[in-house]
Amino acid sequence: MSWALPERLRGFSNVVAEPPRWRGLRGSWWLSGLPLELKRRRIDVFHGTDFAVPYVPLIPSVMMVHDLSPWKRDPLRPAGSGRVRERAPYLMRIATRILTPTEAIREELATTFGIPRRRITAIHLAAFDADDEPPADPGQHDETAVPAPYLLYVGARQARKNIPVLMQSWHSVRRTNPAVSLVIVGPAGGGDERMQREDGLYIFDPLPDTVVSRLLSGAAAFVYPSLYEGFGLPVLEAMKAGVPVITSLDPAITEVAGGAALQVDVTSPEALSQAILCVVASFELQLRLRDQGRQRASAFSWRRTALQTRDVYSEAIRRF
């Protein structure tokens, strides 16, 4: 199945892998249907953006491995990742080249599955730019108005995002500074039912990017206590918005933050609450984190991401 491309991209061809709805035929699609369709259309290279490439390598392929969470233990393992765990290790060896979003995941992938590092390329992502989106209707989303000061978390409410520790830390902060609120934005996830509505806590389902951008601009700090990441895009977007960032010691986040965030042991509610209190109380620390964050975020570019990805496509074609 193909889809129309913008005029500036004419000359490129795309195929959307859409296997049969009946589960019993999906293996046949990846084994024979998709490879033959790619060959028929004379596609130069297949980019599998989510742990998958065709089972039969009739053309060059590039596989994206976002992280190794499917092979982690709970609470790091996402629900419904059994199929990925079963087939991805085999497909990693079929793929001509593999992409990861950070060097941290590249190293973990090579070590865990014994894949030669020369076959894996780490390419950083970049921060979303709210200027690319149409302005939000000022008459909408009034319910997102939050009194300052507030802490902000944006992301899925999954177990590995460590929301319970964030809540414990915020409660501790409130005992010292009752004015500090907590804003959580993102889709519901495992354990979400345990979150109780209470004074000073604002929980929103996913919001338009322009609304999130407004919430970022007013936040005292962006707190992202994730236990495991492949990249940590919310951290980069908060730094680009000039918000002081408090986050974990996760290797991928450490790589992305580049020393421009306050990183702590987020398995300790006490350590996280102390970091929050330090940022909220110190204008000097806020200013330093804002400046360092903006400078660090400026080093990431979607254009660079696209050019480096194109280079990997070319390399895959040469080496197939």
pLDDT in tens, 178-218: 999 999 999 987 655 457 779 999 999 999 998 999 999 99
pLDDT for residue 138: 45
Question: What pTM value is reported for the model?
Answer: 0.88
pLDDT for residue 6: 47
pLDDT for residue 29: 78
Q: In the structure, what pLDDT confidence band is assigned to residue 27 with cuts at 50, 70 and 90?
A: low
pLDDT for residue 225: 98
Q: Look at residue 223 and tell me whether its pLDDT is greater than 50.
A: yes
Q: Look at residue 1 and tell me whether its pLDDT is greater than 50.
A: no
User: CA-to-CA distance for 66 and 242, rounded, in angstroms?
Assistant: 26
CA distances from 191 to 162, 163, 275 (A): 10, 9, 25
pLDDT for residue 188: 86
Task: Look up residue 20 and give its amino acid.
Answer: P
Instruction: Tell me which of 35-44, 111-120, 265-274 is least confident.
Output: 35-44
All residues at 6 or more sequence positions from 134 whose CB lies less than 8 Å from its CB, including other chains:
210
Q: Which residue is listed with tokens 């919310």?
A: 234
pLDDT for residue 40: 87
Q: Look at residue 66 and tell me whether its pLDDT is greater than 80.
A: yes
Phi, psi of 222 (to 5 degrees): -100, 120
Instruction: Tell me which of 52-61, 139-148, 149-158, 239-248 is least confident.
Output: 139-148
pLDDT for residue 33: 84
* Mean pLDDT value across residues 5-21: 49
Instruction: Tell me which of 105-114, 135-144, 289-298, 299-308 is least confident.
Output: 135-144
Q: By C-alpha distance, which of 283, 248, 290 is closest to 269?
A: 248
Q: Which domains does the chain have, with CATH numbers?
A: 7-126+302-319 (3.40.50.2000), 132-297 (3.40.50.2000)
Question: How much of the chain exceeds pLDDT 70, in percent?
Answer: 85
pLDDT for residue 5: 43
> On the CB side of 257, how many CA atoms lie within 13 Å of its CA?
27
| Residues forming a β-bridge with 46 | 61
Q: Look at residue 2 and tell me whether its pLDDT is greater than 60.
A: no
CA distances from 50 to 39, 105, 127, 248, 311 (A): 21, 15, 20, 25, 19
Q: In the structure, what pLDDT confidence band is assigned to residue 96 with cuts at 50, 70 and 90?
A: very high
Q: Look at residue 8 and tell me whether its pLDDT is greater than 90.
A: no
Phi, psi of 184 (to 5 degrees): -120, 125
pLDDT in tens, 134-165: 554 544 555 778 999 999 999 999 999 999 99
Are 241 and 216 in contact by the 8 Å Cβ rule? The answer is yes
All residues at 6 or more sequence positions from 156 whose CB lies less than 8 Å from its CB, including other chains:
186, 187, 189
pLDDT for residue 241: 96
* Mean pLDDT value across residues 231-250: 97
Bridging pattern class, strands 97-100 and 150-154: unpaired
Q: In the structure, what pLDDT confidence band is assigned to residue 80 with cuts at 50, 70 and 90?
A: confident
Q: In what order do the strands lie in the sheet with 120-122?
A: 46-48, 61-64, 97-100, 120-122
